Amino acid sequence: MSNKPPKILVVDDEAKIVEVVKSYLENSGYAVCEAYNGKEALEKFEKENPILVILDLMLPDITGEEICKILRKRSRVPIIMLTAKVEEEDILKGLNMGADDYVTKPFSPRQLVARVEAVLRRANDALIPLSRIISFNNGDLVIDTLKY
């Protein structure tokens, strides 16, 4: 069993935002890998295998929306969009295309970390093996509704 902290990929073309997010996540026990454009984000995603992606939508080469679509075809990794796009249509579009949460800039780094932890809790709950939910007792099927 590895003692490595869980890794989060932070994708934003603004270095100051990446630094702030990285600092708060590392102080909360996470490892962070960074990407400053879409191409780098896709490369780091494949190489680093993060447990969650924090994704800006307005990147210099590939849009965050396009990256989200690509990641959704490859993985169910949780995605939190972190963006200056604040219109309701943008938020709905982001959530409907597969983001697990949507945070608008300016933002509270502490709230972002809390959202990361909430999304990861939900993702981990969804990964409970069926063998921990379903069992048999003297030939009867038993479903643990507290775990389901």
CATH code, domain with 133: 3.40.50.2300
Is residue 117 included in any domain, yes or no?
yes
CB atoms within 10 A of CB 38: 21
Q: Are strands 140-143 and 134-137 parallel, antiparallel or unpaired?
A: antiparallel
Is residue 148 included in any domain, yes or no?
no
Is residue 79 included in any domain, yes or no?
yes
Is residue 48 included in any domain, yes or no?
yes
Domain count, the chain: 1
pLDDT for 134: 67
Give me the domain span that covers residue 83.
Answer: 7-143
Token couple for 59: 């990147």
Measured CA to CA, the distance from residue 73 to residue 23 in angstroms comes to: 30
Q: Phi and psi (nearest 5°) for 134?
A: -110, 135
Give mean pLDDT in consecutive 10-residue pieces for the chain, a chain of 148 residues: 86 98 98 98 98 97 96 96 96 96 98 97 66 67 62
Is residue 119 included in any domain, yes or no?
yes
Is residue 1 included in any domain, yes or no?
no
pLDDT for 65: 95
pTM of the model: 0.83
pLDDT for 19: 98
pLDDT for 131: 53
pLDDT for 3: 79
List the one residue out of 73, 8, 77, 4 whose CA is nearest residue 44.
8
**Which position has the token pair 């969009």?**
81
Measured CA to CA, the distance from residue 78 to residue 98 in angstroms comes to: 9
pLDDT for 43: 98
Is residue 127 included in any domain, yes or no?
yes
